[in-house]
Structures are given as structure tokens and as C-alpha cells.
């Protein structure tokens, strides 16, 4: 359970660390399934529906940026989400009706695995209200060396920054010299395997390259209050579904409670992620093909 202080901290700072978010048995099962999936990537030579490959990937040396939609690759990822301390944290922060938007396992390969440049998730997928967050469950120890998540406390209450390149194209990252990017406030979120980060959808965050000799395995679940409906971006795929499939989709994504037919609309700052980067297949591709300037390279 979260304490009243934990909830107040999250509301004030837009992030939270939770230790022991899953049981040792759940962690062990997640680690074994993830290890098997990484092993299977040895047979893959190009990114596909399951894997995003990093530069230098080979059968001898699997290097992944991401395992896509892990909850569709093995049931253990979905079971953990709906039946663990994660579920309780989500109910406490988002209310009784919570849905999964999507999930991803960012694997960040050893020896330089790609940085994630600074961004607000809200810039990728604005909704009718901002009761959205991402939890990041650490499947291995995360320390300063292997590219931990970093956040700017309080940025979830500030503006939505431009995430565009010099030509005005959406590049999925803020300009490192944006005066609203307060680098002096950066907090680094390290922890033991089984710990979990929570960040609000408007919180500015990023992570440096993995300079260690270990994978950095963080399983991200993007979750939302069921009455937050997407305006545009990846999550709005279901607005293109036929009505019956849309209705079924709403139900299959519930983590707890029920979907609603009454979206809650609130006045929040919004920018839409258009025009798109040449390759918008993932955040890594959006930032690379959109020519995002690297804050990590600038900060050294």
C-alpha cells in the first residue's frame, strides 16, 4: 500500500519510487521469461513485431532496444500487472477504473545502449484529462552506470514543451536549451530488481546510454484512468476500430474496474505530435529519424 505521504509526494513531484513492487516469485518468473525472449532474438536480423534491435545486434551478441508489447508475448506480464502491488498502486493513484494503454520492455543493451532523450509522454499522446502515468518495473538492478530513468520533479505541473526539430517536425524530445528544461533539478531513479518507478504523463524524463556491461531491463506499463480518452497519437488507434471492436478493446485493456462512456474533459496544455518524424515506429526511431538534439551528449 502507498502511504498518504507517498501519494502527496507523487502529486507534488510527479514521480515516485516503490520498492518490492512484485513478490520474489513474480520477479523470478518475469526474469526467466525475459531472458528466454532475449535468447530467441539471436535468430532475428531485423526489427520486427516483437523486437527493436539496437546497432550491432548479432546472433553472438544480442543487442535490443526494446521487446514490444510484452503483455502480448507472454501471459506473465499481464498477470503481474493485474495481480500484484502494482495493481494497488495504480488504484491508489488513478482511482478504481484503470486501463492499460500499452506496455514495452526497454532492454537498453550493455556498452552504450541507446539513450532516451528528454521528453514528456503527454507530447506523444495527449488525452482528455492527464490522469495517466507510466510505471517502470526494474527486472534487474538499475544503477547510475546502466542508464537509469531520470526525472525533473514538478515538471508535470508546468508547460508542455515543444518536441520539434529546427524544421518544426515532431522529434519526440525537447530542445536541450529550452529555458523550461530545468536540468539543475534532475533526479536519478536507481533501485534493486523488483523496484518500480512511477512517473506522471507530463513529467519530463529521459535516460542516458547504458555504459555498463549489463542489460538495463525496465518493464514499462502505460496506464490511465478509464475516463481519459486519447485525442491523438499511438493510443488513439482505437478510434479507427469498428464500434463493436472498439467496445471489446476497451474491456480487454481494463486492469481493474470498468470502462466508461463518459470521458472526463479537463483544460490542460496540449500540443499534438505532428507533423510526424520520418520513422515514428518507436520513441527511439522518432528521436533518431526526427533529428532530436541530445541533451546527454551536451551534458557530457
Ligand X SMILES: O=C(O)CCC(=O)C(=O)O
| Distance separating alpha carbons of residues 116 and 209, to the nearest angstrom | 8
From the CB of residue 206, how many other CB atoms can be counted at a distance below 10 Å?
A: 23
Task: Pick from 64, 217, 218, 226 the residue near ligand X by CB under 6 A.
Answer: 218
C-alpha distances (whole Å) from 62 to each of 31, 113, 172, 296 are 16, 11, 26, 24
Min dist CB 134 to ligand X, Å, is 7
Q: How crowded is the C-beta side of 238, counted as CA atoms within 13 Å?
A: 16
Letters for 140-169 (x = contact with ligand X by CB under 6 A, - = none) are ---------x--------------------
The yes or no reply on residue 116 touching ligand X (CB under 6 A) is yes
Interface with ligand X (CB under 6 A), residue from 84, 101, 207, 212: 207
Count residues contacting ligand X (CB under 6 A)? 8
* DSSP code per residue over 85-118: HHHHHHHHHH-S-EEEEEEEEE---TTTB--EEE
Residue 200 or 250 having the CB closest to ligand X: 200
Cell of 170: 515532431
For residues 41 and 4, give the distance between their C-alpha atoms in angstroms, rounded to a whole number: 43
Q: Closest separation between CB of residue 116 and ligand X, Å?
A: 4
Q: Which CB atom, from 109 or from 283, has the smaller least distance to ligand X?
A: 283
CB of 35 to ligand X, least distance (A): 19
Q: Does 103 bind ligand X (CB under 6 A)?
A: no
- For residue 172, the minimal CB distance to ligand X (Å) is 8
Decide if residue 175 touches ligand X (CB under 6 A).
no
Task: Tell me: does residue 121 bind ligand X (CB under 6 A).
Answer: yes
**Distance of closest approach, residue 18 Cβ to ligand X, in angstroms:** 17
Task: Name the H helices within the chain.
Answer: 4-13, 24-40, 70-73, 75-82, 85-94, 121-124, 243-252, 283-289, 295-299
Q: Which of 18, 22, 27, 283 binds ligand X (CB under 6 A)?
A: 283
- By CB under 6 A, name the binding residues for ligand X: 106, 116, 121, 149, 205, 207, 218, 283
Amino acid at each position: 500500500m502507498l502511504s498518504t505521504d507517498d501519494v502527496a509526494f507523487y502529486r507534488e513531484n510527479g514521480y515516485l519510487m516503490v520498492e518490492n513492487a512484485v513478490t520474489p516469485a513474480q520477479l523470478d518468473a518475469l526474469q526467466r521469461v525475459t531472458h528466454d525472449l532475449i535468447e530467441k532474438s539471436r535468430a532475428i536480423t531485423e526489427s520486427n513485431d516483437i523486437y527493436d534491435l539496437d546497432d550491432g545486434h548479432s546472433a553472438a551478441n544480442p543487442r535490443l532496444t526494446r521487446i514490444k508489447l510484452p503483455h502480448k508475448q507472454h501471459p506473465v506480464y499481464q498477470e503481474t500487472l493485474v495481480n500484484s502491488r502494482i495493481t494497488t498502486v495504480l488504484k491508489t493513484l488513478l482511482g478504481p477504473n484503470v486501463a492499460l494503454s500499452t506496455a514495452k520492455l526497454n532492454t537498453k543493451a550493455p556498452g552504450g545502449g541507446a539513450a532516451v532523450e528528454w521528453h514528456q509522454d503527454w507530447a506523444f499522446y495527449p488525452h482528455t484529462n492527464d490522469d495517466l502515468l507510466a510505471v517502470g518495473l526494474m527486472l534487474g538492478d538499475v544503477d547510475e552506470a546502466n542508464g537509469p530513468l531520470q526525472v525533473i520533479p514538478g515538471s508535470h505541473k508546468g508547460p508542455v514543451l515543444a518536441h520539434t526539430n529546427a524544421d518544426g517536425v515532431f522529434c519526440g524530445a525537447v530542445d536541450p536549451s529550452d529555458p523550461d528544461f530545468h536540468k539543475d533539478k534532475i533526479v536519478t531513479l536507481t533501485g534493486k530488481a523488483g523496484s518500480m518507478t512511477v512517473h506522471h504523463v507530463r513529467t519530463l524524463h529521459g535516460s542516458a546510454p547504458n555504459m555498463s556491461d549489463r542489460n538495463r531491463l525496465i518493464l514499462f506499463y502505460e496506464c490511465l484512468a478509464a475516463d481519459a480518452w486519447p485525442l491523438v497519437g499511438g493510443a488513439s488507434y482505437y478510434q479507427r476500430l469498428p464500434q463493436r471492436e472498439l467496445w471489446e478493446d476497451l474491456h480487454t485493456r481494463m486492469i481493474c474496474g470498468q470502462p466508461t462512456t463518459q470521458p472526463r474533459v479537463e483544460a490542460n496544455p496540449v500540443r499534438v505530435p505532428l507533423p510526424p518524424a520520418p520513422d515514428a515506429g518507436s520513441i527511439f526511431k522518432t528521436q533518431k529519424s526526427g533529428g532530436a538534439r541530445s541533451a546527454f551528449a551536451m551534458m557530457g
